[in-house]
Amino acid sequence: MKHDYENACESVEFIRKFFKREKFPDTAIVLGSGLGNLVDSLDEKIILPSSEIPNFPVSTAPGHAGKFVLGKLRNSREVVILQGRVHFYEYGAMNVVTFPVRLLAMLGVKNYLATNASGGINAEFAPGDLIAVRDHLNLMGTNPLIGKNDSRWNERFPDMSQVYDAEFLEIFRNMGLKTGIYAAFSGPSFETPAEVRMAKILGADLVGMSTVPEVIVAHAMGLRVAVLSFVANKAAGISDGKLSGQEVLDMAKNFSGKFADIIVEFTSKF
């Protein structure tokens, strides 16, 4: 499967027919590892399993349910939610990883809020903190815009100096959230202590295995981008214990109630 523009048009047509609507919410939220419970708090929700959407890549990672959901938050803000994402380590192809965000843009989404679980590098960040990402380091060894360019999607050389929307960042700061720089590695192995030290020297506060490819594409397609990163543990070499995927899921699950409150407050301010 190419996951090209024609494939995307087929997927978009299916999604529109399933939900029986042409106009979609202007705000999309992608839920990272263990943060999928936000869907439980939606009103008037309609759920489409991602596996039923033609050409749509299905997540195989734990804590990613693989659902395309429309509904209303407690503040009556209508949103599109992707309950789970696909990672580069699952498919090894950036065009697959970023296909969902391309569909969202084609459906009319304007505001793109991605969430993830991360390892904390910054000593001031503790497990359980929610950090607003203000910039990133792409350490995945590739870029989702590599390959033949399709101008129907984005320009060839998008500027990356202001990827993370300034107004959104100001809202997060006014809500009392700290901000940080997120470094993305390809995974699925956790980073080594040496890699974490390198990322710290380069300026990273957080480390993870996702988000950056989709953010690059979202920005290139003209979406306003925000990212919230949940610090699930201390990164390798900083943590006292052995890292595990289950630890990440457990921490995120315990945070789910507070997370929903933050999302509702944020989406009430723009």
* Residues in the chain, total: 270
Cα gap 205→120, rounded to integer Å: 6
- Write down the pTM of the prediction: 0.93
pLDDT of 218 above 90: yes
**Sequence letter at residue 229:** S
Over residues 181-188, mean pLDDT: 97
> Model confidence over 119-172: pLDDT tens digits?
999 999 999 999 999 999 999 999 999 999 999 999 999 999 999 999 999 999
Point out the least confidently predicted range of 37-46, 112-121, 172-181.
37-46
Confidence of residue 257 (pLDDT cuts 50, 70, 90): confident
* DSSP 8-class letter at 164: B
User: Which of 151, 177, 148 lies closest to 164 in space, CA to CA?
Assistant: 177
> Using 50, 70 and 90 to split pLDDT, how confident is the model at 253?
low
Average pLDDT score, the chain: 92
Mean pLDDT of the region 44-62? 91
Provide the 8-state DSSP code for 191: P
